[in-house]
Amino acid sequence: MQWTDRIGRRLKLRDLHIFLAVIESGNLARAAERLAISRPVVSKTIADLERALGLRLLDRSPQGVEPTVFGRALHKRSMVIFDDLRQGVRELEFLAEPGKGDLQIGCSEYMAAGLVPAVIDRLSGKHPQMQFHLELGDAASLQEQELPRRKVEFAIARMLAPAPEPEMDAEILFHERLFIAAGPGNKWAGRRKIALADLVEERWMLAPPEMAEGSPLVQAFRAQKLPVPQATVMALSLPLRNGLLATGNFLTVVPGSVMRFGAERTLLKTLAVELPDWKLPVAIITLKNRTLSPAAQLFIDTTRAVAKPLVRTA
């Protein structure tokens, strides 16, 4: 049977849309509720789809449905189809009204505290009709979940490995510089001469990556044969960190991009202690072979320009 007879005349975008909803819901009834249609319509659509393709797409059980190997393949391709359609609509909107767009961005919490707001501020001033939606996560979760599922067009984060995942591309923006920082009331704030040895026994609020092997903080203390400080509080939470630093009793490390662009530049004091740069770079991460919308390209171009002062030459 020819493709046009078997699929071209019988396979509809509506069928694929229902199929995607079933996969994502894991249940026919939930998919029907999500799409505001009846369960028999969902069931018949899946049956017709399997008949048209001549393949079983779903395994049914009392717990719900699971895609077969054929279902997973169709799911992957269907996401690409709908993503391309969405991008096509966004491109038409952008061409009709340059500077107008609805942009889905993934970024780490640190990027959301400094660089990304600076880019949004610059763009929204020039293009007030642009809208920005952010998904927060580290580089690993963004590459494993948000980007493959096409929930975001690109991600900006400090990479956690020298290379991106195989299905990803990464454009290096800069290598982050770290600063030891404290609240204005801290006894070390404002001192001109501080040795790392003075800070070993202080109370620290740190995030797990900052205590990982190879981090600038660990490198700096080990280079001087000092014990690495123990974190009194271990968490990746900027509000918690700022709240603790405001007491004047804690130290932390803050990325240079946050100190340059974020509110922390007015809230915190950096201490006169030099730390090495991160070896792992901050990068723009994209899904390979995915066409980005004009709004995404505009955001990336602006990000390069805003981030340029953070690039340190050897």
Burial class (CB within 10 angstroms; exposed 0-12, middle 13-18, buried 19+) of 142: buried
- The tens digit of pLDDT for each residue in 139-185 reads 889 999 999 988 999 999 998 888 898 999 999 999 999 999 999 89
What percent of the chain lies above the pLDDT cut of 90?
A: 46
Q: Which CATH superfamily is domain 178-270 in?
A: Periplasmic binding protein-like II (3.40.190.10)
Arithmetic mean of pLDDT, 106-122: 95
Cβ-Cβ contacts under 8 Å for 296 (sequence gap 6 or more): 103, 153, 154
- What does pTM read for this prediction? 0.75
Q: Comparing 102-175+280-310 with 178-270, is the CATH topology the same?
A: yes
**Distance (Å, whole) CA 85 – CA 37:** 23
Average pLDDT value for the chain: 88
CATH of region 102-175+280-310, choose from 3.40.190.10, 2.70.170.10, 3.90.1200.10, 3.50.50.60:
3.40.190.10
- Residue partners of 60: CB distance under 8 A and separation at least 6: none
Give the pLDDT confidence of 212-259 residue by residue, as tens digits.
Answer: 888 999 999 999 999 999 999 999 888 898 899 999 999 999 999 999
Class of CATH domain 3-76: mainly alpha
The domain limits of the chain are: 3-76, 102-175+280-310, 178-270
